[in-house]
Amino acid sequence: MNKRDRSKLYDNLYELADRYVQRYNPCKINSKGECLTGNCCCSGCKYLGKQGCTTKCLLCKIHLCSESSFRNPIVAGKLKVIEEIAKKYNLLGARKSKKETLSSHPFNLRIINRNYGY
């Protein structure tokens, strides 16, 4: 898959995941930015702004902690399907923007493979 197609796939998966998250609201984040666990997994992230996340991160969009997954099995299953596709094309980077994720995989791996013969 070329760079342009990966970028398009990233956007499509992100939009789909976003629709599920909007529809099911699995984390139940309130107006104070508190989620159902009381310990939001965004804490300490460089992309966390006053209004929430300031970047587009597919992995974060599909991530549910065990508590949230347990309470929302339907959406957890739907997000899992997206995760499987995203994994296959190396579209997942924790706390990384789309640009950071796409530039770190798999092109760098190809260079390593070429240079070291893996």
Q: Which residues would be at the binding site for ligand SF4 (CB under 6 A)?
A: 27, 35-37, 39-42, 45, 47-48, 53, 55, 57, 60, 63-65, 67-68, 95
Do 47 and 97 contact (CB within 8 A), yes or no? yes
Q: Are 89 and 8 in contact (CB under 8 A)?
A: no
Cα distance between the two ends of the chain: 20
Q: Which residue's CB is nearer to ligand SF4, number 18 or number 67?
A: 67
Kindly state the smallest distance separating residue 3's Cβ from ligand SF4, in Å. Answer: 22
Is residue 27 within a helix (H) or strand (E), and if so which, with residue range?
none
Nearest CA among 3, 35, 25, 11 for reference residue 98? 11
Q: Among residues 38 and 117, whose Cβ is nearest to ligand SF4?
A: 38
Measured from the CB atom, the residue of 94 and 112 that comes closer to ligand SF4 is 94
DSSP character at residue 90: T
Nearer to ligand SF4, 2 or 51 (CB): 51
How far apart are CB 20 and ligand SF4 at their closest, in Å? 13
The least CB distance from residue 51 to ligand SF4, in Å, is: 11
> Which of helix, strand or coil describes residue 84?
helix
